């Protein structure tokens, strides 16, 4: 890496000649994350608003490119780790995200639940215990007053404020449950996101092996298949298998992205809408 070259190129970012600027821009872009530290330092020292804006835009371009690459690798690698996929989306808004801090916060909640699992309880007992720790002890709740706020979809903010939307709370719930070997997975219901407690022993009695459903937005409320039937009927939707059974991690991250796109559309942040739509395209 040529530190002198990077610093010299940054000095040329305010050049009025469009051709020179584009050459400098492309060269700095090719350095990738290595250039970010120098760009951020130069931004702090810059007094020219044109140079400041160009530096800020370039930093964002580099960071957005990293998010795209990480999301593509996650998707192509099989999308096995849901938490990883959600953290990548988190880095779109918070590029300097401390991922380990979030992982530690999730682990701490998991540990609090595990410490109270002194006996092999029934599935409903397990869910009641998770509910007690998540909602009563840690104080998580659905953000009913500002549901469209994009912050409800970013995991670091949800863990900080203890408020989230249906999908962010369901992600935290299911990730922790699966770490405890409790088979709880997301279900992509239209206009709502719920969880399913899976039990292969009920494969014949219940289609797809779902024992019962959980509403993470409503303090872990447990309900049954008939309630899903009624909900679909209210929406005038026909019964489809996908509305009752767990969806893929790709589907969950797509849902997070669609929520964010909708939130930013309402705020009129069309640049973010365009970029998040680009991320959505990576997942097919």
Is it the case that residue 256 has pLDDT exceeding 60?
Answer: yes
CB atoms inside a 10 Å sphere around CB 220: 20
Provide the residue ranges of all domains of the chain, joining segments of one domain with +: 3-76, 82-282
For residues 29-34, average pLDDT: 83
Taking the C-alpha atoms of residue 55 and residue 78, their distance in angstroms, rounded to an integer, is 35
Q: What pLDDT, in 10s, does the model give residues 131-158? A: 999 999 999 999 998 888 999 999 999 9
Helix (H/G/I), strand (E/B), else coil: 119: coil
pTM of the model: 0.90
CA distances 96 to 87, 111, 268, Å, are 11, 27, 25
- Cβ(74)–Cβ(88) under 8 Å? yes
CA distance 92 to 132: 32
Asked whether residue 70 carries a pLDDT value surpassing 70, the answer given is yes
**pLDDT reported for residue 235:** 92
| Cβ 99 vs Cβ 86: under 8 Å | no
* pLDDT confidence tier of residue 1, bands split at 50, 70 and 90: low
Distance from C-alpha of 79 to C-alpha of 87, rounded to nearest angstrom: 12
d(CA 175, CA 196): 13
**Per-residue pLDDT at 207:** 61
264-274 as b/e, with b when 16 or more CB fall inside 10 Å?
A: beeeebeebbe
Reading the block at residue 35, the tokens are 């250039």
Please tell me the distance from the alpha carbon of residue 34 to that of residue 148, in angstroms, as a whole number: 36
pLDDT band for position 203 (50/70/90)?
low
| CB 88, CB 67: distance < 8 Å | yes
């Amino acid at each position: 890496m040529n530190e002198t070259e990077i610093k010299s190129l940054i000095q040329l970012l305010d050049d009025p000649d469009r051709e020179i600027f584009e050459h400098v821009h492309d060269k700095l872009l090719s350095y990738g994350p290595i250039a970010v530290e120098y760009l951020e330092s130069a931004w702090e020292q810059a007094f020219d608003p044109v140079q400041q804006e160009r530096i800020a835009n370039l930093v964002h371009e580099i960071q957005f490119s990293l998010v795209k690459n990480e999301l593509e690798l996650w998707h192509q690698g099989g999308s096995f780790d849901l938490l990883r996929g959600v953290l990548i989306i988190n880095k779109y808004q918070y590029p300097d995200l401390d991922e380990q801090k979030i992982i530690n916060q999730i682990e701490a909640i998991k540990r609090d639940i595990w410490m109270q699992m002194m006996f092999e309880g029934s599935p409903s007992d397990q869910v009641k215990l998770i509910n007690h720790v998540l909602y009563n002890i840690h104080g998580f709740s659905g953000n009913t007053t500002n549901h469209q706020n994009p912050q409800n979809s970013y995991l670091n903010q949800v863990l900080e404020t203890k408020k989230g939307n249906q999908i962010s709370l369901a992600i935290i719930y299911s990730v922790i449950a699966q770490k405890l070997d409790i088979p709880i997975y997301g279900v992509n219901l239209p206009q709502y996101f719920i969880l399913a407690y899976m039990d292969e022993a009920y494969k014949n009695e219940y289609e797809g092996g779902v024992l019962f459903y959980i509403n993470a937005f409503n303090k872990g409320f447990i309900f049954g298949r008939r309630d899903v039937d009624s909900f679909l009927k209210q929406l005038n939707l026909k019964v489809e298998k996908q509305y009752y059974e767990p969806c893929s991690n790709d589907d969950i991250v797509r849902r997070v992205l669609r929520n964010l796109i909708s939130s930013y559309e309402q705020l009129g942040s069309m640049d973010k809408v365009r970029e998040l739509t680009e991320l959505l395209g990576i997942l097919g």
